[in-house]
Amino acid sequence: MEKKQIGFELTIFESINELSQSEQELLQAAEQAQKNAYAPYSNFQVGAAVLLENGEIVIGSNQENASYPSGLCAERVAVFQAGARYPGVAIKILAVTAGSKDHVVNSPAAPCGNCRQSIMEYEQNQKTPIVILLKAEKGPVFKCSSMADILPLAFNSSFLGDS
Ligand code: THU
């Protein structure tokens, strides 16, 4: 028998000012996008902004639906839009911001499991890590070095065989 410990390094910034200029700008783009969230059911508004290798920034926000599972998270709106507009262009950073109309959110909201799975495939295809920046209305900024870090033991197409 063998037991393995799997962990990752999370960098925590007390203030957005500790980040680089481009990281700050990307978080600001996510905050702008958050304003266009369509979240009448949860009142939880999420913004996402991805910085691509070609310098473009593509944004997204959560889009809900009366049939709840039909809605989509901000992260996938942004990343799918990036894939549609700039196919094959690598994603360098994904910034995510979140807030609620009902209460103060003071800890960063991390991508849900479905988003991690979807975005992981982009990371594997591009063969370079996607850095993830997370920020709420208040509190610290979290930085993860890659999607693989927060989705260990991920399922991918290799399990489907013949590729
Ligand atoms: N949501 C996101 O957009 N991203 C996340 O990382 C977590 C959750 C959205 C989905 C739904 O519209 C609302 O937040 C509440 O779950």
Does ligand 1 have an atom closer than 6 angstroms to the CB of 114? no
Cα 16 to Cα 159: distance, rounded to the nearest angstrom: 40
> What pLDDT sits at residue 78?
98
Does ligand 1 have an atom closer than 6 angstroms to the CB of 75? yes
> What pLDDT sits at residue 133?
98
Closest Cα to atom 2, ligand 1: which residue? 73
- Closest ligand 1 atom to Cα of 39: 12
Q: Indicate if 2 belongs to the active site.
A: no
> What pLDDT sits at residue 162?
67
Task: Measure 104 CA to ligand 1 centroid, in angstroms.
Answer: 15
> What pLDDT sits at residue 50?
98
Does ligand 1 have an atom closer than 6 angstroms to the CB of 109? yes
pTM: 0.96
Task: Measure 4 CA to ligand 1 centroid, in angstroms.
Answer: 32
Task: Measure 63 CA to ligand 1 centroid, in angstroms.
Answer: 9
158-161 contacts at long range (C-beta below 8 A, 24 or more positions apart): none
Low-confidence residues of the chain, pLDDT below 70?
A: 162-163
Does ligand 1 have an atom closer than 6 angstroms to the CB of 23? no
Q: Which of 105, 57, 103 is nearest to 82 (CA)?
A: 57
- Residue 127, classed as helix, strand or coil, is coil
CATH entry, 11-156, from 3.30.420.40, 3.40.50.620, 3.40.140.10, 3.30.565.10: 3.40.140.10
Domain ranges of the chain: 11-156
Cα 145 to Cα 138: distance, rounded to the nearest angstrom: 22
> What pLDDT sits at residue 163?
57
Cα 60 to Cα 34: distance, rounded to the nearest angstrom: 8
119: exposed, middle or buried (Cβ count in 10 Å: 0-12, 13-18, 19+): buried
Rounded to 5 degrees, φ, ψ at 87 are -60, 135
